[in-house]
Amino acid sequence: MTQAAEIGSASSGDDQGRRLVLADRREVVLRALRPEDDRLYPEFDSYVTDEDRRLRFLVALREIPQSQIFRLTHFDRRHARAYAAIAPQTGQLLGVGRVHQLSSDEGEYAVLVRSDLKGLGLGNALMDMVLEGARELGLRSVLGLILRENVNMIALCRELGFTFSMTSEANLVEARLRLD
């Protein structure tokens, strides 16, 4: 098990961001993801291993394609929310969490943390933001498709109270959380 993050003083609102102190004492700002954050992605992606990229996107990718980066950063806030973890000193992107609406009451979430920063509490903090965002959207439940071997994400979801079910694909499990 990893050490949980210690939440530092929080200033309210996604625009200003929330300050967070990770388990290694590193300070991070969590804020809403902006369209112009697309330029931060290539450097962020260079710290993501092929394996973690596969766990996030469910397919093998040597890098996150530019077209995908555009879609991830240019989205309709009426139907989606996304959050960036930023290093305040350098402005580097350290992690991202998102949720988008699948139907009137259900959304799909995803999270990706820089591979060298895993296990410090960032994924947990991003998931908290994502669940808040899902509630803002008025969703009643969220779901995610997780590769069976992704024990970290399964453990994280279990801690958050998600339930798991099989899917038609043997290598995937569906994790679902009711928000009401």
Ligand X SMILES: CC(C)(COP(=O)(O)OP(=O)(O)OC[C@H]1O[C@@H](n2cnc3c(N)ncnc32)[C@H](O)[C@@H]1OP(=O)(O)O)[C@@H](O)C(=O)NCCC(=O)NCCS
List Cβ neighbours of 104 (8 Å cut-off, separation of 6 or more).
none
Any contact of residue 166 with ligand X (CB under 6 A)?
A: no
Any contact of residue 143 with ligand X (CB under 6 A)?
A: no
The binder of ligand X chosen from 72, 85, 94, 111 (CB under 6 A)? 111
Quick one: 123 or 133, whose CB is closer to ligand X?
A: 123
Any contact of residue 10 with ligand X (CB under 6 A)?
A: no
Residue 122 and residue 95 in contact, taking contact as beta carbons nearer than 8 Å: yes
The binder of ligand X chosen from 64, 93, 112, 137 (CB under 6 A)? 112
Cα→Cα distances 162→9, 27, 69, 70, Å? 28, 28, 28, 30
User: How many residues line the site for ligand X (CB under 6 A)?
Assistant: 27
The binder of ligand X chosen from 17, 137, 150, 162 (CB under 6 A)? 150
Q: Quote the CA–CA distance of 158 and 150 in Å, as a whole number.
A: 12
**Binders in 34-63 for ligand X, by CB under 6 A:** 52, 55-56
Quick one: 15 or 116, whose CB is closer to ligand X?
A: 116
Residue 118 and residue 144 in contact, taking contact as beta carbons nearer than 8 Å: no
Binding window for ligand X (CB under 6 A); candidates: 1-9, 32-40, 62-70, 131-139:
1-9
Residue 177 CB-density burial (10 A; 0-12 exposed, 13-18 middle, 19+ buried): middle
The binder of ligand X chosen from 120, 130, 139, 143 (CB under 6 A)? 120
Any contact of residue 80 with ligand X (CB under 6 A)?
A: no
Positions in the binding site for ligand X (CB under 6 A): 1-4, 52, 55-56, 110-113, 118-124, 144, 146, 150-153, 155-156, 159
